[in-house]
Amino acid sequence: MKLEDYRGIAEQGDIRAIESMAAKLKGRTMLHVNSTAEGGGVAELLQRIVPLFKDLGINVRWEVMQGTKPFFEVTKGLHNSLQGKGMHITKEMWDEYESVNRANAERIDTDADCVIIHDPQPAMFIEKKRRGIWFWRCHIDISSPDPITWYFLKNIVERYDGSIFSVANFAQSVSIPQFMMQPSIDPLANKNIELSEEEVKGTFERFNLPTDKPILLQVSRFDPFKDPLGVIDAYRLVKKYHDCRLVLAGGTATDDPEGDRVLQEVREKAGGDPDIHLLLLPPFSDREINALQRGSTIVLQKSTREGFGLVVAEALWKKKPVIGGDVGGIPLQIVEGVTGFLVHSAEGAAYRIRQLLENPDKSRHMGEAAKEHIRRNFLVTRNVKNYLALWIAMERKEQVIYI
């Protein structure tokens, strides 16, 4: 993967800026640390940007934490609590969190000129800081966190040189600089490249998904904040007026112990409806997801809490109107009435689904606008440019715009 591959796709100004800044940082070292190598949005982002940094002459490493089952149960609780779902974190849970963090920080070489620690799971790596600029990159919505949980995490976060959030209102009051950096998609990844009609058709056939009716699709982890139960409610309201199918395609991740329970709840809610299709996708099902999005009629992302929700950008890139929850980073991707619709309830989602099913021309025009919106604002080159800019600005202590 090379920067040159994006000429003619990404904004030329972004490419020129990347080349200029990378020349100043060539040979320097960069480290990213997160909690899983597969199955989540952070892992997908790192899979795409790390090779680009290498192509630019930066010595970049990506390290993944090794955690115990109790550790990931604790961090899932932290995740939910920071997103506003109150959970009591006991002393024993904090002890497990600290123990696993310290063991991993000893195992992983943290010596680098620029270190980016992703999300709460490895946040305590800051105790191992030796030198360089350290950023805490928060991908989740902590706009309304449980105050006790945030109090403990804040004491850790404020030891970093800077913090990065995906959406401005996610930021909290901290004593360190805060920056906004929106995540991005890679148009050259298997999940986003153009596919032939034959491959799309073959994917639907392999999953036993008939295409004789309009298809509503949501791709997400089986997570309560993605509201798959609410999606089924919306589908059933639409079904009274339009014969359609619903596909809920998702998977699990090594750092999410809730997935199996939520999947069982979804199965029970579906109740054997032959027009509701549940697909449990294995890791790296990128081309399959690509085909499902391209072959669907309308894409949903009815989250009730969301970090950024890059699956929205992926669907918009494929010229699909998206109906999404008005939360997290989704409103930055969905321009209301232009690239899709923002909703707050199953009833609202059903209304917008019906509106699009009854007006195919409107749906097609939205799709055209959607792809251009993503091209201008949410491609991987924009993310690389922003990381380089923050690195240089923080090292030089130049004036930067905080959020």
Q: In sequence order, which residues have a C-beta less than 8 Å from that of residue 236 and are 6 or more positions away?
A: none
Identify whether the C-beta of residue 62 lies closer than 8 Å to the C-beta of residue 50: yes
- Whole-angstrom CA distances from 99 to 34, 95, 103, 105, 196 are 16, 6, 6, 10, 49
Nearest to 98 by CA among 82, 129, 122: 122
Please state, in angstroms and rounded to a whole number, the distance separating the CA atoms of residues 40 and 284: 10
Distance CA 10, CA 17 (A): 12
In three-state secondary structure terms, 133 is: strand
Contact 321, 300 (CB under 8 A): no
Instruction: Please check whether residue 126 is in contact with residue 134, taking contact to mean a CB–CB distance below 8 angstroms.
Output: yes
Which residues does residue 249 pair with via DSSP β-bridges, in sequence order? 219, 279
Edge-to-edge order in the sheet of strand 340-343: 276-280, 245-250, 215-219, 298-301, 322-325, 340-343
Q: At what angle do helices 259-270 and 228-239 cross, to 10 degrees?
A: 20
Cβ atoms within 10 Å of 233's Cβ, excluding its own: 18
Write out the chain's pLDDT in tens, 403 residues: 799 999 999 989 999 999 999 999 999 999 999 998 876 778 888 999 999 999 999 999 999 999 888 898 888 888 888 887 767 778 888 899 999 999 999 999 999 999 999 999 999 999 999 899 999 999 888 888 888 888 889 999 999 999 999 888 888 888 999 998 888 999 999 999 999 999 999 999 999 999 999 999 999 988 888 999 999 999 999 999 999 999 999 876 655 667 788 888 999 999 989 999 999 998 779 999 999 999 999 999 999 988 788 899 999 999 999 999 999 889 999 999 999 999 999 999 999 999 999 999 999 999 999 999 999 999 999 999 999 999 999 988 754 444 4
CB atoms within 10 A of CB 212: 7
Distance CA 180, CA 55 (A): 25
- And the tokens for 7? 């000429």
CB 79 within 8 A of CB 305: no
Interatomic CA distance for residues 48 and 54, integer angstroms: 11
- Domains in the chain and their CATH numbers? 3-184+379-396 (3.40.50.2000), 197-377 (3.40.50.2000)
Question: Is residue 163 a contact partner of residue 174, using CB atoms and an 8 Å limit?
Answer: yes
Length of the chain: 403
